[in-house]
Amino acid sequence: MIPVKPSALIEIKDLTIRFHLRQGVVTAVDGVSFEIPSGRVLGLVGESGCGKSVTARSLLRIEAPAKIGGGEILFFPSGRPPVKIHGLDPGGSAIRSIRGKEVSMVFQEPMTSLGPMHTVGNQIREAILLHRTADKREAGQLALQALYSVGMSRSEKVMRQYPHQLSGGMRQRVMIAMALSCEPQLLIADEPTTALDVSTEAQIIELLKEKQASLGMAILYITHNLSVVAGMASDVVVMYLGRIMEKADTETLFRDARHPYTRALMKSIPRVDRDQKERLETIKGGIPDPYDRPKGCVFHPRCHECIPGTCDAVAPRMARLDNGAEVACHLYAEAL
């Protein structure tokens, strides 16, 4: 029997996900553990290719062609016993009853996520017919309300249009409306503003904050933009090459980041209070070849605080620090 954890909606324990390719095996997620608290926003941050999206997709069991190689994904729905998501059949009825209804996802690129052969209205109605009502007229009304709720202008006309007839910002609003149409307990937002201009990005972020507050849902917000996380998330998980480097609440992370990777990311952010002639700091080197992962700490080839003989030989364990953060770094080995 899984003990119920009222503070956690999702608990991920030592999750490993691998791609088995002709060239070899790629470990995209390597021993990742974190919780998504009920009603809070968790920011998942890291460079492209660090495993953020694969981790998020595994919560809905749509990680294929990758496979879960170990660990657990536990879902604690309100009013029901806990669910072992990692043990569900990706094509089975159990996970399909969760997808879209209790856990929804806003994908990174709406143009490739929305079906080009179906109108916007039909695509939103499909989710509602599957999870909320079998009445097509009622489903149409709920779909229209969903578009209104995300601030879509001319919603009646948009219902009859196809994705290619909409702008990028409108398509992203459609994706959000579809994801929220069944009022999920968790919304996964996978870099929802990457392809949008700055003004539209700000509108989408404000929309997500408003819906999170009104519905009381949790959000897993995936991004590489720390400035977005600062204004959006209550807690942050920093990933690099499939492993967690640091976990902390947002205020602690931005005030007192400890891991060298997190500090390097912070220093790369443009700030208005900096000297205009001062160059932004960069992280030397590039992300290692996924087929040839570094031994020890995966960040050590790019770390200016690397301890020879230790960082390049032994993988660091997660340590809890005096500021409440958890950090995987040999610099804090005494905290274990």
3-state secondary structure of 168: helix
Q: Is residue 117 a contact partner of residue 161, using CB atoms and an 8 Å limit?
A: no
Residue type, 310: T
Decide if pLDDT at 334 tops 90: no
More confident residue, 5 or 310: 310
Higher pLDDT: 110 or 52? It is: 52
Average pLDDT over every residue of 83-101? 92
- pLDDT in the model for residue 79: 78
**Alpha-helical segments (H) within the chain:** 52-58, 93-98, 110-113, 120-131, 136-149, 155-159, 168-180, 198-215, 226-232, 250-256, 260-267
Adjacency order of strands within the sheet including 41-45: 103-106, 186-190, 218-223, 41-45, 235-240, 243-249, 326-328, 318-320
Q: What percentage of the chain carries pLDDT values higher than 90?
A: 52
Superfamily in which the 8-240 domain is placed by CATH: P-loop containing nucleotide triphosphate hydrolases (3.40.50.300)
Closest CA to 245 of 260, 228, 230: 260
pLDDT band at 60 (very low <50, low <70, confident <90, very high): very high
pLDDT tens digit sequence for 197-210: 788 788 888 888 88
Nearest Cα residue to 238 out of 264, 261, 221, 267: 261
The chain-wide mean pLDDT, for the chain, equals: 88
User: Above 90 in pLDDT, residue 30?
Assistant: yes
Instruction: Evaluate if residue 336 carries a pLDDT over 60.
Output: no
Strand partners, 19: 26
∠ CA 304-309-310, nearest 5°, is 75
Structure confidence at residue 218 (pLDDT): 93
What is the average pLDDT across 254-280? 81
pLDDT digits (tens, 9 = 90+) for 306-327: 999 999 999 999 999 998 899 9
Q: Evaluate if pTM is beyond 0.85.
A: yes
Confidence (pLDDT) at 219: 94
**How high is the pLDDT of residue 291?**
84
In the chain, domain spans: 8-240, 243-335
